[in-house]
């Protein structure tokens, strides 16, 4: 993928024609900088006794250069040919000469998440390591940790120590920096004491070694001889310092870069740094003026963009290629993603461009990665993600594996984790099989997690499905033991050896070595195994629980990774703009070119404003600097294609203007793109198009007939597999065997509101939502119970600690919502402590499960708390929702009525005394200094009134009467799209005449669609 493309630049200087001494090669995109450096590396490696070190900015670029050099290895006589990153070079120095640094043992490099965790740990330390003063309320927030963790790295990259930072704080009147300086001193001291080193510190310490030990510097210089530096415009001050030390020690330095292409400003790279540092080294400048990649419109676009900013160091000339530049605007992200996937597919099919020579660059990966990946999969376009585009622990196979460990260590999370595990490669079920299993669980009247524990023969699903469920259950049982007894890497090894899914994966890789998906999974598992090995190296005896603790505390769960074999696959590269640095392709689509995304001009400023470390700009100069940096990012995206670059954009929720940079290069994407080339791509699309024509009554009969005839000739078309052709289904198993229904009060409450919703959720098992509200409610119930039973001390600190230990921000869809619930939880605990705890401590029972017979049916449930009063018992149910029911609603509540009946009929409850009141209790609302509550009180002959209300419901559900209710509360119903009471569900259950075989009422009837 790299710009060198494996070819020597035909018109550039040869490596042996470069001037002696230090040299800086300056040139724009595609001018052959990397090619020239690689040629120089190859020449040096061919000469006996001549050493060379090739250093570049990213692992991806280092791997690409190494692969190209190794491809020429038969002609190279000696020397190492591997290229490294600055971090790898520094790590080699530091770990080999740790005895010269103030370490007591072996230094242990910190990964990104570990560094974040350490900062968080220091911030939460009691007593605090720094008196944060006015910032104190922010210190416990994750955003503060995020900012401080990157701020300390920013200081290290810029060689700014605590004293220097404090001086700057005083001279620039930035009090927050004074506090950060105190923290930095403490942080660095902690690293030193614990023999730890973070990523930026590694480069700093390598510089310290070379500076303080002339003999080591001399030996390093003798070994490396010539230092070849690629992407030199991205160097930060700590890296420049290494270069200057090596050059000062006698090494020859050849740097290549494009000052106008510096995009790593957040790391401390500035456009002016390379020329200035080159001048300090006395380097002679070699301009590379010809672009071997860009021509015609492509080169013109880059020139126009660069004309709006500072002058480029070297003006580019065309090198004989022709690059087309286009733009298209779409109504929404789905259309944009679909159009670009079609474009790539057509370019491959019609123009013969290999997928490996194409790339999609995402201006906003968060917004577009999902739609684009789905569109590529829909159109069968193979793709690969680049380094940094996905973190290792976000790889699906690794994520599933971690879920397996999480579930083994915390069975209480079964509701949340088990369904996705069952449909993962480890479980091997497809969604339909999972639904069947859910339904079997519903019929057995038990949660899914309990149901999978049943003997294999009783799982209620087809034998092959049952055996896969049993295999996962057995694996889970063994993982429970391994995860708590073995070190993390050995635990993984046992799973690797015993999980049938992994044996199948290896077999698939052997049978289909070019299968990109399989190769990526194996690469990810290998990388994960290595990560665990490194983790355990630094913490002997660390178990999987320790590992999960570390990664779950961090906001970002792992470092980016580079699948070792992905670059060789013939697949479209899906990258962020930043990760495309150094890349060259034939066709590039730059997606998401919207104002706000590219350029992105609004950044959160934060407390410490790390950007001010490079100069205290005023607001106007700062805005200009941000825009210039974004323009350089756009130039980077616009200059990756040899033949064609297409910029696309789309509105989000009706908003979004195309990027201003498109106008700067003379494109007008304001008009929305039409349907594009309608040629069907593949049999699926073709049959879909033909079926639409055949089913369209507005079309001429001849056209429809032609469509049907063509359809019949398409290979693989089998109308019997089209869903509308299926006949009515009749389940031979009645829902209530022998007319006896087993249900719970909440389910029968749903039935009372709407029979059809009960059918969808409780009979078919479609409602698998485990909402964050439910998780939060469960947590609050647990904390209240612990406190009332005295298992948690009833002081605010202990209550909050119990809450904190169980609160998981990952339940919530966003940090903002998690924060809101955190605050709600804290407020509830406060109110509990002051107004509820005393009464609760005198409660008779908590979490009482009941079971009772009602007219031959079984009704089960659980009551949160039972209090005693002078004349009987009070039954309570906590509701953690913010809105409270009215007194009238409580009076009519079926749930409370069932509680009453249960208190009379369940032997345990009946022994506690007569029920005199049933309450719905709202911890989120205060009333008279305690939890708000509304209640129901039994009147005379209340039991028979409740029975009169309940029995018809039980009988109706047992008789499978499942009509939708016109009076239902549909506001939060998940089934509107398949409910005939709503327009969107009309097609699903359109009125039909059931066939004679439709045996029972309530069976869901498929409708004849508009298809042929």
For CA atoms 132, 137, 140, 142, give the dihedral sign. negative
Nearer to ligand SF4, 823 or 892 (CB): 892
Nearer to ligand SF4, 502 or 758 (CB): 758
Contact 29, 306 (CB under 8 A): no
Nearer to ligand SF4, 158 or 755 (CB): 755
Part in contact with ligand SF4 (CB under 6 A); list of ranges 1-9, 499-507, 751-759, 874-882:
751-759
Part in contact with ligand SF4 (CB under 6 A); list of ranges 203-211, 829-837, 965-973, 1004-1012:
965-973
Look up tokens 């409450």; give the residue: 749
Contact 649, 279 (CB under 8 A): no
Q: Which of 425, 976, 986, 1012 binds ligand SF4 (CB under 6 A)?
A: 976
- Shortest separation between residue 758's beta carbon and ligand SF4, angstroms: 9
Q: Which of 496, 722, 982, 988 binds ligand SF4 (CB under 6 A)?
A: 982
- Shortest separation between residue 983's beta carbon and ligand SF4, angstroms: 11
- Shortest separation between residue 873's beta carbon and ligand SF4, angstroms: 34
Chain-centroid distance of CA 684 in Å reads: 30
How many Cβ atoms sit within 10 Å of the Cβ of residue 718? 7
Whether a cis peptide bond, with omega within 30° of 0, leads into 794 is no
Cα 908 from Cα 47, distance rounded (Å): 90
Cα 656 from Cα 528, distance rounded (Å): 39
Cα 742 from Cα 952, distance rounded (Å): 14
- Shortest separation between residue 985's beta carbon and ligand SF4, angstroms: 7
- Shortest separation between residue 763's beta carbon and ligand SF4, angstroms: 12
Nearer to ligand SF4, 932 or 1004 (CB): 1004
- Shortest separation between residue 984's beta carbon and ligand SF4, angstroms: 10
C-alpha angle 196/490/388, rounded to 5°?
Answer: 55
Nearer to ligand SF4, 368 or 756 (CB): 756
Part in contact with ligand SF4 (CB under 6 A); list of ranges 84-92, 312-320, 533-541, 963-971:
963-971
Task: Tell whether residue 973 is a contact of ligand SF4 (CB under 6 A).
Answer: yes
- Shortest separation between residue 755's beta carbon and ligand SF4, angstroms: 8
Looking at residue 105, what DSSP letter applies? S
Cα 599 from Cα 576, distance rounded (Å): 14
Part in contact with ligand SF4 (CB under 6 A); list of ranges 267-275, 353-361, 396-404, 750-758:
750-758
List, in sequence order, every residue forming a beta bridge with 857; answer none if it has no partner.
854
Task: Tell whether residue 968 is a contact of ligand SF4 (CB under 6 A).
Answer: yes
Number of residues that make up the chain: 1012
Nearer to ligand SF4, 772 or 982 (CB): 982
- Shortest separation between residue 1006's beta carbon and ligand SF4, angstroms: 17
Task: Tell whether residue 757 is a contact of ligand SF4 (CB under 6 A).
Answer: yes
Residue 769, token pair as written in the block: 């939502």
List C-alpha distances in Å: 172 to 121, 160, 165, 501. Answer: 29, 15, 10, 60
Nearer to ligand SF4, 764 or 916 (CB): 764
Q: Which of 756, 786, 902, 954 binds ligand SF4 (CB under 6 A)?
A: 756
Q: Which of 754, 885, 896, 953 binds ligand SF4 (CB under 6 A)?
A: 754
List, in sequence order, every residue forming a beta bridge with 23; answer none if it has no partner.
254, 284
Contact 969, 953 (CB under 8 A): no
Nearer to ligand SF4, 151 or 975 (CB): 975
Part in contact with ligand SF4 (CB under 6 A); list of ranges 195-203, 340-348, 696-704, 972-980:
972-980
Task: Tell whether residue 975 is a contact of ligand SF4 (CB under 6 A).
Answer: yes
Nearer to ligand SF4, 925 or 965 (CB): 965
Nearer to ligand SF4, 318 or 970 (CB): 970
How many Cβ atoms sit within 10 Å of the Cβ of residue 678? 9
Looking at residue 384, what DSSP letter applies? E
Q: Pattern 707-746, binding to ligand SF4, x per CB under 6 A? A: ----------------------------------------
Contact 401, 572 (CB under 8 A): no
Total residues contacting ligand SF4 by CB under 6 A comes to: 13
Residues 6+ apart with CB under 8 A from 940: none
Task: Tell whether residue 964 is a contact of ligand SF4 (CB under 6 A).
Answer: yes
Task: Tell whether residue 981 is a contact of ligand SF4 (CB under 6 A).
Answer: yes
Nearer to ligand SF4, 223 or 977 (CB): 977
Part in contact with ligand SF4 (CB under 6 A); list of ranges 433-441, 754-762, 849-857, 916-924:
754-762
List C-alpha distances in Å: 120 to 139, 149, 769. Answer: 9, 8, 33
Q: Pattern 262-301, binding to ligand SF4, x per CB under 6 A? A: ----------------------------------------
- Shortest separation between residue 750's beta carbon and ligand SF4, angstroms: 9
**H helices, E strands: number in the chain:** 37, 22
Contact 542, 536 (CB under 8 A): yes
Nearer to ligand SF4, 942 or 982 (CB): 982
Q: Pattern 922-961, binding to ligand SF4, x per CB under 6 A? A: ----------------------------------------
Cα 763 from Cα 735, distance rounded (Å): 8
Residues 647-676 that bind ligand SF4 (CB under 6 A): none
Part in contact with ligand SF4 (CB under 6 A); list of ranges 382-390, 606-614, 714-722, 977-985:
977-985
Helix (H) or strand (E) holding 797: helix 796-806
Task: Tell whether residue 965 is a contact of ligand SF4 (CB under 6 A).
Answer: yes
Task: Tell whether residue 443 is a contact of ligand SF4 (CB under 6 A).
Answer: no
Contact 579, 433 (CB under 8 A): no
Query: How do beta strands 857-869 and 872-878 pair?
Result: antiparallel
Task: Tell whether residue 962 is a contact of ligand SF4 (CB under 6 A).
Answer: no
Residue 665 backbone phi and psi in degrees, to 5: -100, 10
| Cα radius of gyration (the chain) | 33
Residue 411, token pair as written in the block: 């069975």
Nearer to ligand SF4, 739 or 952 (CB): 952
Cα 357 from Cα 641, distance rounded (Å): 9
List, in sequence order, every residue forming a beta bridge with 930; answer none if it has no partner.
927
Task: Tell whether residue 979 is a contact of ligand SF4 (CB under 6 A).
Answer: yes
Residues 6+ apart with CB under 8 A from 147: 606, 607, 608
Task: Tell whether residue 970 is a contact of ligand SF4 (CB under 6 A).
Answer: yes
Q: Is 52 helix (H, G, I), strand (E, B) or coil?
A: strand
Please report which residue ranges of 486-594 form alpha helices under DSSP H.
Answer: 488-498, 500-511, 516-538, 544-553
Chain-centroid distance of CA 930 in Å reads: 41
Nearer to ligand SF4, 334 or 970 (CB): 970
Residues 6+ apart with CB under 8 A from 103: 192, 195
Nearer to ligand SF4, 641 or 754 (CB): 754
- Shortest separation between residue 987's beta carbon and ligand SF4, angstroms: 14
The residue ranges that bind ligand SF4 (CB under 6 A) are 754, 756-757, 964-965, 968, 970, 973, 975-976, 979, 981-982
């Amino acid at each position: 993928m790299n710009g060198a493309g494996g070819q020597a630049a035909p018109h550039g200087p040869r490596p042996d024609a470069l001037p002696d001494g230090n040299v800086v090669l300056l040139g724009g995109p595609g001018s052959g900088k990397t090619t020239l450096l690689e040629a120089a590396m190859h020449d040096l490696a061919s000469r006996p006794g001549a050493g060379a070190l090739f250093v570049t900015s990213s692992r991806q670029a280092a791997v690409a250069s190494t692969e190209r050099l190794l491809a020429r290895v038969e002609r190279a006589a000696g020397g190492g040919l591997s290229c490294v990153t600055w971090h790898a070079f520094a790590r080699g120095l530091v770990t080999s000469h740790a005895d010269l640094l103030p370490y007591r043992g072996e230094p242990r490099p910190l990964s990104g998440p570990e560094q974040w965790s350490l900062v968080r740990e220091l911030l939460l330390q009691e007593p605090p390591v720094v008196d944060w003063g006015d910032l104190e309320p922010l210190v416990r927030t994750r955003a503060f940790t995020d900012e401080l963790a990157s701020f300390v790295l920013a200081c290290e990259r810029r060689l700014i120590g605590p004293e220097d930072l404090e001086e700057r704080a005083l001279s620039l009147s930035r009090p927050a920096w004074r506090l950060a300086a105190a923290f930095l001193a403490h942080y660095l001291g902690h690293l030193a004491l614990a023999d730890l080193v973070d990523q930026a510190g590694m480069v700093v310490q390598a510089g310290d070694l070379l500076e303080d030990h002339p003999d080591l510097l001399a030996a390093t210089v003798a070994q490396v001889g010539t230092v070849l530096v690629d992407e030199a415009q991205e160097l930060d001050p700590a890296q420049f310092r290494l270069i200057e030390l090596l050059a000062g020690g006698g090494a020859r330095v050849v740097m290549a870069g494009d000052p106008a292409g510096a995009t790593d400003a957040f790391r401390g790279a500035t456009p002016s740094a390379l020329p200035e540092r080159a001048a300090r080294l006395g380097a002679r400048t070699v301009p590379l003026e010809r672009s071997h990649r860009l021509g015609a419109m492509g080169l013109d676009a880059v020139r126009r963009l660069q004309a709006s900013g500072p002058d480029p160091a070297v003006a580019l000339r065309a090198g004989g290629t022709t690059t087309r530049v286009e733009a298209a605007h779409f109504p929404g992200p789905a259309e944009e993603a679909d159009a670009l996937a079609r474009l790539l597919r057509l370019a491959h099919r019609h123009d013969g461009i290999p997928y490996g020579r194409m790339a999609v660059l995402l201006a906003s990966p968060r917004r577009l990665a999902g739609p684009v990946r789905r569109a590529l999969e829909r159109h069968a376009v193979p793709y690969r993600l680049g380094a940094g585009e996905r973190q290792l622990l976000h790889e699906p196979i690794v994520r599933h594996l971690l879920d397996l460990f999480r579930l083994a260590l915390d069975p209480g999370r079964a509701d949340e984790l088990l369904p996705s595990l069952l449909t993962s490669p480890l479980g091997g079920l497809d969604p339909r099989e999972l639904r069947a299993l859910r339904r079997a669980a519903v019929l057995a009247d038990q949660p899914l997690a309990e149901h999978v524990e049943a003997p294999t023969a009783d799982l209620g699903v087809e034998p092959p499905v049952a055996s896969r469920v049993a295999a996962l259950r057995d694996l889970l049982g063994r993982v429970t033991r391994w995860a708590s007894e073995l070190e993390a890497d050995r635990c993984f090894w046992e799973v690797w050896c015993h999980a049938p899914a992994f044996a199948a994966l290896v077999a698939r890789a052997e049978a289909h070595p070019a299968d990109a998906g399989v190769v990526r999974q194996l690469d990810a598992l290998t990388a994960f195994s290595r990560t665990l090995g490194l983790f355990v190296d630094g913490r002997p005896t660390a178990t999987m629980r320790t590992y999960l603790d570390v990664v779950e505390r961090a906001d970002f769960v792992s470092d980016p990774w580079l699948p070792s074999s992905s670059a060789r696959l013939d697949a479209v590269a899906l990258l962020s703009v930043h990760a495309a640095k150094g890349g060259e392709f034939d066709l590039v689509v730059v997606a998401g070119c919207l104002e706000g995304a590219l350029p992105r001009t609004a950044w959160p400023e934060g407390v410490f404003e790390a950007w001010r470390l490079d100069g205290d700009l005023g607001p106007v100069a700062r805005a200009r600097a941000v825009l210039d940096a974004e323009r350089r990012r756009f130039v980077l995206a616009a200059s990756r294609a040899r033949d064609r670059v297409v910029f696309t954009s789309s509105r989000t929720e009706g908003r979004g203007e195309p990027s201003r940079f498109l106008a700067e290069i003379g494109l007008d994407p304001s008009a929305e793109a039409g349907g594009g080339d309608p040629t069907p791509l593949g049999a699926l699309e073709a049959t879909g198009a033909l079926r639409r024509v055949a089913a369209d009554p507005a079309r001429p009969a001849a056209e429809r007939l032609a469509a049907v005839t063509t359809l019949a000739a398409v290979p693989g078309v089998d109308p019997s597999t089209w869903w509308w052709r299926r006949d009515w289904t009749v389940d031979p198993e009645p829902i209530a065997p022998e007319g006896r229904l087993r249900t719970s009060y909440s389910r029968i409450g749903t039935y009372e509101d709407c029979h059809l919703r009960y059918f969808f959720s409780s009979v078919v098992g479609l409602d698998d939502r485990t909402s964050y509200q439910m998780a939060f409610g469960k947590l609050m119930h647990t904390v209240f119970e612990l406190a009332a039973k005295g298992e948690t001390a009833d002081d605010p600190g202990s209550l909050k600690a119990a809450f904190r230990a169980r609160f998981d921000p990952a339940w919530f869809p966003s940090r903002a919502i998690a924060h809101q619930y955190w605050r709600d939880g804290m407020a509830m605990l406060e109110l509990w402590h002051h107004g509820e705890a005393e009464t609760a401590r005198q409660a008779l029972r908590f979490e009482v499960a009941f079971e009772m017979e009602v007219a031959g049916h079984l009704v089960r449930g659980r009551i949160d708390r039972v209090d005693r009063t002078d004349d009987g018992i009070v039954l309570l149910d906590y509701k953690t929702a913010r809105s409270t029911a009215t007194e009238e609603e409580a009076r009519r509540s079926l749930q409370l009525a069932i509680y009453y009946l249960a208190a009379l009929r369940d032997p345990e409850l009946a022994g506690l005394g007569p029920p005199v009141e049933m309450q719905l209790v709202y911890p989120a609302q205060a009333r008279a200094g305690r939890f708000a509550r509304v209640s129901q009180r039994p009147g005379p002959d209340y039991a028979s009134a409740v029975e009169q209300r309940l029995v018809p419901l039980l009988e109706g559900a047992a008789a499978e009467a499942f009509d939708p209710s016109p009076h239902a509360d549909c506001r939060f119903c998940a089934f509107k799209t398949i409910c005939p009471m709503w327009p969107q569900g009309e097609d699903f259950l359109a009125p039909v005449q059931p066939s004679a075989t439709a045996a029972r009422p309530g069976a869901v009837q498929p409708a004849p669609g508009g298809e042929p």
